[in-house]
């Protein structure tokens, strides 16, 4: 290659190199300019962050609201100057920043529960009740009322802390004065005004709390509002509270237990608020005296209903006695063949049974003793009082019962169902003076998404109905649509009270001249059907029994029953005779309760020294509650109500024996307990 060619090539390469160098320098300048711009932006952002930090520090330090953090032990870890000032911790070292020690005695326990709840919620503490009002006390200053608000929980393990604010309520000016005035008002009310969080923990309770609950109002903070509810009412209250959070009104009557064990009734009306956070506010009132008055008036109303029944009952007993007298007259006639006489005697016994059933129903309806709730078939309860309802309605009104819930059982006493139906039947009778029909129907409802299985009870009449204005006040105590002097005005209020006590609801629908319908919904018990214990038809007993009865014909018949059951029987009509004839072996005492001079339980006491294992069965025509109220019997005593038949006596003796039978003797053919044996 020539020299000129080489020179040309070098020149071209030199030019290319210069161009590449120029491009590289231009790219370096562009990158440097971009980096310089980024640096300027970062410096501007840093200056802004510093200004924000300084502003926040100034706000944190100078604000009139205190900010601080607490650890699990309640120690103030970090705090601004205002928080230290309000909490009385200015200059205090970290080890002496325990907040619990600064609280008044009545608030210390509640704050501990509140703080534990916050830390247990952790990151979800925002859903927990955030505000709490407390009294801080110190030796060098008067007590200060403050409001704490939890902002959240952060950290993990031992480093977890809760951020909070604190406000001195005495320095808030007009709002604090308004709040103080409001609390001054509610603290002079007889009703308790209270606030709880979504978990049911009390944030505030007015002064009346001490009068009703018999506990200092300040100690209520941080405790469960329903913590004192009677166990028998807990299910009802918890169900109503659950429905409150679904939008239903909360208006419940329930019992509370004071520290002394005394039971009081309260009416509690509560409302749900969701601003600034979920809380419940309510008013509770002591209604113990009111319920006592209502019970007395309700009992008077029962007696009024029984008075209305008197004509029908007299007519019914007249028919029963006429049938009884006629059957026995024919049976005893010399011309009556033995087989026919036997049939007439059986019919006379059937009349006696009808009379005994009627007396039992009347005594149950008029009783005043405490109810005993147990699983109850609502269909069977309605059918059992059907005859009594028909007598109350009279012959001009037809009673129709459609039992459509054979498997539904509710937690109730049969008298409660009778009380509801008797009140509604009395109203229906007055609404249908020209006659008509009263329909009672039951139906099982499927379990819903918010509630368990329920049973529907519908009571419908074809009477005159009631206007809209009367319907709005129908359940008010002492309100009556029957006019002055007609009724107590407690019928429907009693129906509503009993329904609520059973955990149910009642709805009223009526149109003038179109009749009235009452619809009830009761919760159904989800319990397996228990098989009733059967009593052998030919139960036989072995042993020696002492029968004490002052009525000669009752004594003769009961003696025959006991002898037919296999017992050797000694008779006595007085306490003196009973003691004189009790020598030797004695396994069973069957005694009337009310006797001349000395009662049956007293005779038992007189015999126990000689016969310590003596089993006793009392018989009486008086109801059990009457004997217990008079102090003649105790609740655990075995009682058989007169009149009774031999099978009922055998069943009661079997039950009395089974209560004292030891398990290892169940396999024997004949079981003997303290000399009294039952063939199995």
Which are the contacts of 647, defined by CB distance < 8 A and separation ≥ 6? 535, 537
pLDDT value, residue 44: 85
CA distance 69 to 151: 10
pLDDT interval class at 593 (50, 70, 90):
very high
| Domain 177-286 listed as CATH 3.30.1330.40 | no
Mean of pLDDT values over 325-340? 84
307, pLDDT greater than 90: no
pLDDT value, residue 257: 94
Strands 588-592 and 615-620: parallel
268, pLDDT greater than 70: yes
CA distances in angstroms from 5 to 11, 13, 216, listed in the order given: 10, 12, 114
Mean of pLDDT values over 210-222? 87
Residue-wise pLDDT for 485-522, tens only, equals 555 566 787 788 888 878 888 999 999 888 999 999 99
pLDDT value, residue 679: 43
pLDDT interval class at 451 (50, 70, 90):
low
pLDDT value, residue 358: 64
192 with 205: CB under 8 angstroms? yes
Paired tokens of 273: 């608020």
Q: What is the CATH number of domain 66-172?
A: 3.30.450.20
662, pLDDT greater than 50: no
Mean of pLDDT values over 257-272? 92
Q: What is the CATH number of domain 397-408+422-530?
A: 3.30.565.10
CB atoms within 10 A of CB 246: 9
Domain boundaries, the chain: 1-61, 66-172, 177-286, 397-408+422-530, 541-679
Paired tokens of 65: 């609201």
674, pLDDT greater than 80: no
383 with 422: CB under 8 angstroms? no
Phi, psi torsion values for 101, nearest 5 degrees? -65, -20
Residue-wise pLDDT for 346-363, tens only, equals 777 777 776 776 666 566
Higher-pLDDT residue of 76, 388: 76
pLDDT value, residue 1: 60
pLDDT value, residue 365: 54
Residue-wise pLDDT for 635-656, tens only, equals 788 888 888 888 888 888 888 8
Higher-pLDDT residue of 668, 208: 208
pLDDT value, residue 95: 72
pLDDT value, residue 312: 57
Strands 588-592 and 409-412: unpaired
Residue-wise pLDDT for 471-494, tens only, equals 888 887 667 766 555 555 667 877
Percent of the residues in the chain that have a pLDDT greater than 90, as a whole number: 18
pLDDT interval class at 228 (50, 70, 90):
very high
pLDDT value, residue 518: 95
Mean of pLDDT values over 263-274? 90
Residue-wise pLDDT for 604-626, tens only, equals 999 988 888 899 999 998 877 77
Among 130-134, 175-179, 292-296, 586-590, name the one with the lowest average pLDDT: 175-179
Percent of the residues in the chain that have a pLDDT greater than 70, as a whole number: 81
Mean pLDDT of the chain: 79
CA distance 293 to 299: 10
96, pLDDT greater than 80: no
Mean of pLDDT values over 33-37? 85
Q: What share of the chain is helix, strand, coil (3-state, %, to 5)?
A: 45, 25, 30
31, pLDDT greater than 90: no
pLDDT value, residue 209: 92
| Domain 541-679 listed as CATH 3.40.50.2300 | yes
Residue-wise pLDDT for 529-545, tens only, equals 444 444 444 557 888 99
H or E segment at 521? strand 515-523
Residue-wise pLDDT for 397-415, tens only, equals 999 999 999 888 998 888 7
Among 60-64, 228-232, 450-454, 665-669, name the one with the lowest average pLDDT: 665-669
Mean of pLDDT values over 310-328? 71
Phi, psi torsion values for 464, nearest 5 degrees? -75, -10
CA distances in angstroms from 537 to 245, 644, 649, 654, 670, listed in the order given: 55, 15, 12, 11, 17
Higher-pLDDT residue of 328, 131: 328
pLDDT value, residue 676: 46
- With H, G, I as helix, E, B as strand and everything else as coil, classify residue 482: coil
Higher-pLDDT residue of 187, 43: 43
DSSP conformational letter for 407: T
b/e sequence 196-211, b meaning 16+ C-beta within 10 Å: bbeeebbbbbbbbbbe
CB atoms within 10 A of CB 66: 22
306, pLDDT greater than 70: no
Residue-wise pLDDT for 97-124, tens only, equals 888 777 776 677 777 777 787 777 665 5
- Say yes or no: do domains 66-172 and 177-286 share a fold: yes
pLDDT interval class at 296 (50, 70, 90):
confident
Which are the contacts of 502, defined by CB distance < 8 A and separation ≥ 6? 410, 411, 412, 416, 522
pLDDT interval class at 56 (50, 70, 90):
confident
Residue-wise pLDDT for 407-447, tens only, equals 889 988 887 898 899 889 988 988 998 999 999 999 998 76
């Amino acid at each position: 290659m020539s020299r000129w060619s080489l020179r040309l090539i070098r020149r071209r390469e030199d030019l290319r190199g210069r161009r590449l160098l120029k491009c590289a320098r231009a790219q370096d300048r562009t990158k440097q300019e971009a980096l310089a711009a980024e640096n300027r932006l970062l410096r501007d952002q840093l200056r802004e962050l510093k200004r924000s930090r300084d502003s926040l520090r100034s706000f944190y330090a100078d604000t009139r609201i205190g900010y601080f953090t607490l650890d699990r032990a309640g120690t103030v870890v970090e705090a601004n100057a205002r928080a230290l000032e309000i909490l009385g911790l200015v200059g205090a070292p970290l080890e002496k920043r325990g907040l619990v020690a600064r609280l008044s005695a009545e608030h210390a326990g509640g704050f501990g529960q509140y703080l534990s709840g916050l830390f247990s919620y952790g990151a979800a503490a925002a859903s927990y009740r955030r505000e709490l009002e407390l009294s801080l006390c110190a030796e060098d200053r008067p007590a200060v009322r403050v409001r704490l608000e939890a902002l959240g929980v952060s950290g993990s393990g031992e480093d977890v802390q809760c951020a909070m604010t604190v406000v001195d309520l005495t320095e808030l000016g007009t709002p604090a004065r308004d709040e103080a005035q409001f609390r001054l008002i509610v603290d002079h009310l007889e009703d308790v005004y209270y606030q709880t969080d979504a978990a049911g923990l009390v944030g505030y309770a007015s002064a009346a709390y001490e009068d009703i609950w018999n506990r200092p109002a300040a100690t209520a903070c941080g405790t469960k509002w329903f913590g004192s509810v009677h166990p028998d009412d807990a299910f009802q209250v918890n169900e109503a509270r659950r429905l409150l959070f679904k939008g239903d009104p909360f208006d419940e009557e329930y019992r509370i237990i004071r520290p002394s064990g005394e039971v009081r009734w309260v009416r509690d009306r509560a409302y749900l608020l969701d601003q600034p956070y979920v809380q419940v506010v309510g008013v509770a009132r002591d209604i113990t005296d009111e319920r006592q008055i209502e019970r007395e008036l309700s009992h008077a109303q029962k007696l009024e209903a029984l008075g209305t029944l008197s004509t029908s009952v007299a007519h019914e007993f007249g028919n029963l006695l006429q049938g009884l007298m006629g059957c026995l007259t024919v049976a005893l006639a010399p011309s009556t063949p033995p087989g026919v006489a036997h049939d007439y005697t059986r019919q006379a016994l059937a009349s006696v049974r009808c009379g005994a059933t009627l007396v039992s129903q009347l005594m149950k309806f008029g009783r005043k003793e405490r109810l005993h709730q147990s699983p109850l078939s609502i269909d069977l309860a309605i059918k059992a009082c059907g005859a009594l309802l028909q007598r109350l309605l009279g012959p001009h009104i037809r009673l129709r019962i459609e039992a459509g819930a054979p498997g539904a059982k509710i937690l109730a006493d049969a008298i409660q169902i009778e009380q509801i139906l008797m009140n509604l039947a009395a109203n229906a009778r007055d609404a249908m003076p020209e006659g008509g029909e009263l329909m009672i129907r039951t139906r099982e409802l499927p379990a819903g998404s918010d509630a368990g299985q329920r049973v529907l009870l519908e009571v419908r009449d074809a009477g005159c109905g009631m206007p809209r204005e009367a319907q709005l006040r129908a359940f008010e105590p002492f309100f009556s649509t029957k006019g002055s002097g007609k009724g107590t005005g407690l019928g429907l209020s009693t129906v509503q009270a009993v329904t609520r006590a059973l955990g149910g609801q009642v709805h009223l629908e009526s149109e003038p001249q179109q009749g009235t319908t009452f619809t009830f919904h009761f919760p159904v018990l989800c319990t397996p059907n228990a098989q009733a214990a059967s009593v052998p038809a030919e139960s036989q007993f072995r042993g020696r029994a002492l029968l004490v009865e002052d009525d000669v014909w009752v004594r003769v018949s009961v003696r025959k029953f006991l002898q037919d059951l296999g017992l050797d029987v000694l008779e006595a009509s007085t306490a003196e005779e009973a003691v004189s004839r009790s020598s030797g072996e004695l396994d069973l005492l069957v005694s009337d309760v009310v006797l001349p001079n000395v009662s049956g339980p007293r005779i038992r006491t007189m015999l126990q020294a000689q016969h310590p294992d003596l089993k006793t069965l009392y018989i009486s025509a008086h109801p059990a509650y009457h004997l217990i109220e008079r102090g003649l019997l105790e609740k655990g005593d075995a009682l058989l109500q007169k009149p009774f038949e031999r099978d009922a006596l055998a069943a009661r003796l079997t039950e009395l024996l089974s209560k004292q039978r030891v398990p290892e003797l169940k396999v024997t053919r004949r079981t003997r307990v303290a000399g009294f044996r039952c063939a199995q």
